[in-house]
Amino acid sequence: MIDKDIATPKKTKAILDKYGFSFKKSLGQNFLIDTNVLKRIVAAANVSQSTGVIEIGPGIGALTEQLAKEAKRVVAFEIDQRLLPILKETLSAYEHTKIIHQDVLKADVQKVIKDEFEENEELAVVANLPYYVTTPILMKLLEEKLPVRTIVVMIQKEVAERIAAKPNSKNYGSLSIAAQYYADAETVFTVPKTVFVPQPNVDSAILRLSIREKPPITVKDEAFFFEIIRASFAQRRKTILNNLAHHFSTLSKQTIEEILQSINIDPRRRGEALSMEEFGVLSDNLLKKFRT
């Protein structure tokens, strides 16, 4: 067995060379080669002997190894079949780890949780996510309302800043509101591109999503609420009135303007200036026009 820790340049290279592994750009594979960063990720998720962890994209097992040292159980989804024999070797010392060869976007994660973890067990998702599927994976995890207390992921710094952004900032948008509807979002620390092999083109950040017991606002129709948000940011330079008028062609611009004014939202404001609470009120009031 290859000596631990995995996450050093020398040992990572030895593992890759042994198996003749080549990186697939299409899978967004960038492996961490800094044990300190990995330990900080595990700490950010507050993983302990009572924690069950779900990991996505374990690679050669560098983060999995650090999680296994602290967690009660680790179950990881890996899409690349070529990594399975590597993981079997690198994680052989950790019997409480399991690799599931499946695309997490197609997986029934609720069922995996039911099958692999004890009922009411404290659960966390911890992962170094491929850049190209960051948003779909995060939204799947949030929208499926999994019984997890926290999601800690390494993602592109720019995306982390967008998810954690507040109103009236350039990063604030539909993704910020969608994520913050389900969780409290914060960027914990940034990670330079130099600690990866191969090096990505951009820096990364650790994003922590603390799952809410219930959303911060109550809306009459969640799907319609999110539709309003997407429409409001369709063209960022346009006013809320123009974006909504373009999206809801069955309503007159005057009707939309009257609704906005009735709830004290200036029609000339842009989507980035509205709080989640204002979007909630707007959604409920617009909904009335479609249900009368």
Alpha helices in the chain (DSSP H): 9-19, 35-44, 62-70, 84-90, 109-116, 134-143, 157-164, 174-182, 222-232, 240-247, 253-262, 276-290
CA distance 73 to 67: 9
30 is in an annotated binding site: yes
Angle at 70 between CA 69 and CA 72, to 5 degrees: 105
CA distance 5 to 133: 28
Place of tokens 């980035």: 272
280 is in an annotated binding site: no
Q: What would the DSSP string read from start to end of 47-116?
A: --TTEEEEEE--TTTHHHHHHHHH-SEEEEEE--GGGHHHHHHHTTT-TTEEEEES-GGGS-HHHHHHHH
115 is in an annotated binding site: no
57 is in an annotated binding site: yes
278 is in an annotated binding site: no
CA distance 39 to 65: 10
CA distance 267 to 256: 9
Instruction: Give the H or E element holding residue 205.
Output: strand 204-211
32 is in an annotated binding site: yes
CA distance 284 to 287: 5
Annotated binding site: 30, 32, 57, 78, 103, 128
Annotated binding site for S-adenosyl-L-methionine: 30, 32, 57, 78, 103, 128
